[in-house]
Structure 1
């Protein structure tokens, strides 16, 4: 397809980029599961490698050739000067290009657990920055899948994808139901559950003997894990601290725990 030079910001084909919120993109018309935004050529490349389909690309003039090399001739590429694209999107495209990507269908939880040995469960982690950072650690240090509770921030939100450097698009993940059904699901798959929390009866991470199949549960900063999450755990684990510090940021906690139990 010929590159489309933008002259009119009211062009309906640009609606995916016109100050759209993540929530609005998730409900985008003409899609089965909604859209998400991939920022930068690197993230777009990782999305394509994961089998995700682009609906269109928005590119600065000097990145059009790079965009075409990634998506081919069948995906529309819209281009224009930086000032015009910033007016359209509401932010500066300092990474050169963004793409509106079709959200894939999420896999089933049993399918992800079938061949997994280490998984991460995020309970009600509302900050997409933390979600993205945890996914990056999962990809780098090693876990087989991530599970998020209904109130957890969406890993496909633009900020989460950006902070994760696109690893959200590589690491398998899906959403869970309530804790009784989750506990049953994990037990059936042979997983023990370790909750990272500040608790009087918590086992030090140094002393925790990890089983063959383990689910690590992390909660929101401030609130921590819910009573239902703690009740569903086989063990509560705590990272030993020095200098009177009681805990780490949840993303740092995830990284330390995964490293220690790799």
Structure 2
């Protein structure tokens, strides 16, 4: 059985939090975990942008970041970070590997993933893009990743 958990590290823009929840609901993500400094999914604007899906997708706030990522690994999750690192693999490579339990970490706007978070993950992944464009908005990237990593029937 495939189990997908999405972890949001310090995503402060509540519209992005809401949009990520909407994509998570639409693309059948099992749960969303938010870091201590992530925007509140229950903030009015998050709820509105999510079209109420923050009430459909199970979620929890992690208290020990990034230590809780190690707990996910102990539970058998492959933990992948969406981050533009020199060793990041293309998203479709991770999708082809199809881990049974996957936790995908999405980082804050602008600064991206912390060094401590990157040290705690199993792999960094990226969406391959046209030259001259290095990244997507985190909400848009989440939708692409959720679609690419969805379980194949």
Task: Please give the residue correspondences for 1:22-37 in structure 2 after superposition, counting only pairs within 5 Å.
Answer: none
Could you tell me which residue of structure 2 aligns to residue 242 of structure 1?
130
* Candidates 175, 185, 190, aligned match of 2:61: 175
Give TM-score, length-normalised by structure 2: 0.92
Higher relative contact order, chain-length normalized (CA < 8 Å, sep 6+): 2
The 2-side partners of 1:260 and 1:144 are apart by 15
Could you tell me which residue of structure 1 aligns to residue 29 of structure 2?
143
The 2-side partners of 1:236 and 1:166 are apart by 31
Shift of 1:116: 7.1
Ranges in structure 1 where 5+ consecutive residues have no aligned partner:
1-114
What is the root-mean-square deviation in Å for CA atoms of aligned residues? 1.4
User: Does the 8 Å contact 1:198/1:238 carry over to 2?
Assistant: yes
Once the two structures are superposed, residues 199-236 of structure 1 have per-residue CA deviations (whole angstroms, 9 ceiling, x without a partner) of 11100112222310000000111010111111111000
**May I ask how many residue pairs the two structures share in their alignment?**
148
User: Does the 8 Å contact 1:116/1:145 carry over to 2?
Assistant: no
User: Does the 8 Å contact 2:8/2:105 carry over to 1?
Assistant: yes
Farther off after superposition, 224-233 or 176-185: 176-185
Could you tell me which residue of structure 1 aligns to residue 86 of structure 2?
200
Ranges in structure 2 where 5+ consecutive residues have no aligned partner:
none
Give TM-score, length-normalised by structure 1: 0.55
The 1-side partners of 2:85 and 2:75 are apart by 27
Between structure 1 and structure 2, the one with the greater Rg is 1
Q: Is 1:227 aligned to residue 115 of structure 2?
A: yes
**CA 1:193–1:151 in 2, change beyond 3 Å: closer, same or farther?**
same
The 2-side partners of 1:168 and 1:179 are apart by 21
The 1-side partners of 2:9 and 2:47 are apart by 18
Once the two structures are superposed, residues 90-117 of structure 1 have per-residue CA deviations (whole angstroms, 9 ceiling, x without a partner) of xxxxxxxxxxxxxxxxxxxxxxxxx971
Q: Is 1:119 aligned to residue 44 of structure 2?
A: no
Once the two structures are superposed, residues 180-205 of structure 1 have per-residue CA deviations (whole angstroms, 9 ceiling, x without a partner) of 53133202211010000011110011
Once the two structures are superposed, residues 18-48 of structure 1 have per-residue CA deviations (whole angstroms, 9 ceiling, x without a partner) of xxxxxxxxxxxxxxxxxxxxxxxxxxxxxxx
